[in-house]
Chains A and B, each alone.
Chain A
């Protein structure tokens, strides 16, 4: 990957689960992530929760990214889990593959330690509010951070996805949100493990 922030070469198949509450833009975030992976020439499958499940307040979207054709189309043991609500953390964090990464919003989630998973809590919602004045952009701040932490897609590809998918008048805000996410994930205070 040419872009910065790619700590390791991406494995052959990565499973990313984004979870939270309705209204947090979970599905849009997954779509942008998938768009970026598609543009990078990789195989991609994206799915999301539907029906009563989706209306019950919880929201879940999953993206599988691979170099070869994807056979089984469902996420089984995510390599990356993002939790933007306590409910989501309680339900999904432990399903993360051993050695995998759990990213959560530290303001919304009281994380409990999990063996053999890397836990990273960051203040996505708080930063979106204070730095951008838009709490609703927390999902994009999160995306920037996930990109920085995992390199699952390239930073430039993700920015392109934001430019292509979102209405022109909100593109600038969301590009700033991405950068904010990059910064918070790599900044001096850096990603923190739970206390």
Chain B
């Protein structure tokens, strides 16, 4: 039985999702528009025997999250653009050292202090490439309060399964709005537990994870004397640093990429609406996908065949869905609250098979359905549209 329907704020749903996913550690630093996640967890975590700490800055916050995860706790932090930038170095560390953790970025207008209370999708590329060096990442984008909860749970499951940082890209609109939802209870959820490696400590250093068998990381202070490092390490020798052998560096780099990319069709989640006969598709994510859905419904009422492809997983890029879309439609409209960040990605994936129309907005205002409707009108210039929306 789900809990009764009630009014829940997006940020609160993230916090409750984290608790439901088994998160027992949060470290963070106050920043609009993510602060409610910290506030809720400061009250909720000790109730379930967990730990909340407000750190001295975002650099310390992600550091503490990594430390807690290494000690065996499911851990998260939450921030917004400026703090997300400060966390990038350690997100790379978590990626390199294969530390499961969840980073919630409630996107606001930027760069710099920017528009603290207004929504943006300006961090989607920072989520992908914000840390230096070749690495892979998983990023999920909620477009409702219900998804703030369910995707937080999913983020923890993926972080444990692939031993990687996972980023939840919310935004000021989604984080601050309250919606009527019935949050699931723990027994309705699939929650991945970390477990222990299925080898004895003496053998642990000799057994390498493969792309298909990613061993859980043993906790600090367990029977396994682990060594964790951000240096290139030799996966076949217990993870000791090895910076002088190009083949070791390449092997590690390829493994870190492949352990996620090899599974990207399994990881990628995409919602497709009215795509069966669509001639034009809207590719939209997060809060903007709601405007896109409104525009798509308007178009259908007007009698033109428009569908919606909504990536829930933004990274790894949902290549299969985009590929399918490129084969089917003649035009793909990509509205986003940045200037072409994902549109370029879609264009590269489409490779000329369909026209890609971008539509960006960076004034801190959510893209409105009418803006997308105007683009749809142009694609169906031969169609007679009713005057009223």
CB distance A38 to B173 under 8 Å? Answer: no
Per-residue B-contact encoding for A39-53, CB less than 8 Å = 1, 0 else: 101111111101111
> From residue B118, how far is it (CB to closest CB) to chain A in Å?
9
Q: Which of B7, B33, B117, B173 contacts A73 (CB 8 A)?
A: B173
The answer to whether A72 touches B369, judged by C-beta atoms less than 8 angstroms apart, is: yes
B369 CB, min distance to chain A CBs, angstroms: 5
The docked-state distance in angstroms from the alpha carbon of A142 to that of B60 is 47
Q: Is B179 an interface residue, CB under 8 A from the partner?
A: yes
Are A44 and B117 in contact (CB-based, < 8 A)? no
Please give, as numbers and ranges, the residues of chain A lying within 8 Å of B7 by CB-CB distance.
31, 34-35, 38, 44, 46
How far, in Å, is B111 (CB) from chain A's closest CB? 18
Contact B180–A71 (Cβ < 8 Å): no
- Contacts of A43 on B, CB cut-off 8 Å? 180
Specify which chain A residues have a CB less than 8 angstroms from the CB of B293 in the assembled complex.
71
CB nearest to A39 among chain B residues: B5
Provide the bound-state CA to CA distance between A47 and B290, in Å: 15
Q: Given A51-B116, A51-B117, are A45 and B177 neighbors across the interface (CB < 8 Å)? A: yes
Q: Which residues of A contact B176 (CB under 8 A)?
A: 47-48, 50
Alpha-carbon distance A76/B370, docked complex (angstroms): 11
CB distance from B121 to the nearest CB of A (A): 15
Task: Determine the chain A residues whose CB is within 8 A of the CB of B5 once the complex forms.
Answer: 38-39, 41
Pairwise interchain contact A72-B294, C-beta atoms closer than 8 A: yes
Count A/B pairs, Cβ under 8 Å: 64
Interface of chain A residues 5 through 53 with chain B (CB within 8 A) = 31, 34-35, 37-39, 41-48, 50-53
Q: A70 contacts which chain B residues (CB < 8 A)?
A: 179, 290
The residues of A that contact B180 with a CB separation of less than 8 Å are 34, 37-38, 42-45
Closest residue of B by beta carbon distance from A63: B178
B contacts with A, residue count (CB < 8 A) = 22
- The answer to whether residues A44 and B294 also contact, given A35-B7, A52-B117, A74-B366 and a CB cut-off of 8 A, is no
Q: Are B178 and A34 in contact (CB under 8 A)?
A: yes
B291 beta carbon closer than 8 Å to chain A: yes
Most-contacted residue by chain A among B117, B368, B369 (CB, 10 A):
B117
Residues of chain B within 8 A of A39, CB atoms compared: 5
Sample of 5 A–B contacts (CB below 8 Å) = A38-B6, A45-B178, A50-B176, A73-B173, A73-B287
Q: Which residues of A contact B (CB under 8 A)?
A: 31, 34-35, 37-39, 41-48, 50-53, 70-74, 76
Sample of 19 further A-B pairs with CB below 8 A, known A31-B7, A70-B290, A72-B290: A34-B180, A37-B180, A43-B180, A44-B178, A45-B179, A50-B32, A51-B32, A51-B116, A51-B117, A53-B117, A70-B179, A71-B290, A71-B291, A71-B294, A71-B369, A72-B368, A73-B179, A73-B290, A74-B173
Chain B positions within 8 Å of A, measured between CB atoms, are 5-7, 32-33, 116-117, 173, 176-180, 287, 290-291, 293-294, 297, 366, 368-369
